Amino acid sequence: MAMSAVVSVMNGLDCDQGRAAGRGDLPLKGVVLLFIRCFGFKAAILAVLGQAVYQDRVGKACRGAPTIEQAGAMGDAKADPSDSVFCRTIKPYLR
């Protein structure tokens, strides 16, 4: 008899401590929310700084020392057309 079965018999409670179904898998909802938050944060920075200042700062990060910021600047930091649309949408609410 397994230990959990013994505990269950002793105190009358159901003590099944098995692993929950799906636990350990990467939650899709969490990944989607993280993506949306990162996208929104990037658009908010773009709205506050403006297109020219934002591109200047990304350019400085690209020319900097080979660090994490340079990798980020090369990867996803450049302003996309979708960022500009979202930026125009939220800009009136940020000022």
Q: Which domain holds residue 79?
A: 25-94
Dig out the tokens for 6 from the structure: 């013994």
Distance CA(60)–CA(75), nearest Å, equals 14
> Coil, strand, or helix at residue 93?
helix
Q: How many independent structural domains does the chain possess?
A: 1
Rounded Cα–Cα distance for residues 75 and 48 (Å): 21
Contact between 43 and 90 under an 8 Å Cβ cutoff? The reply is yes
Structural contact between residues 4 and 15, judged by C-beta atoms closer than 8 angstroms: yes
The pLDDT tens digits along the chain (95 residues) read 555 555 555 555 555 565 555 556 778 899 999 988 988 888 888 888 888 888 888 887 777 777 777 776 766 677 778 788 888 888 888 76
Q: Please check whether residue 13 lies inside any domain of the structure.
A: no
Residue 16 covered by a domain: no
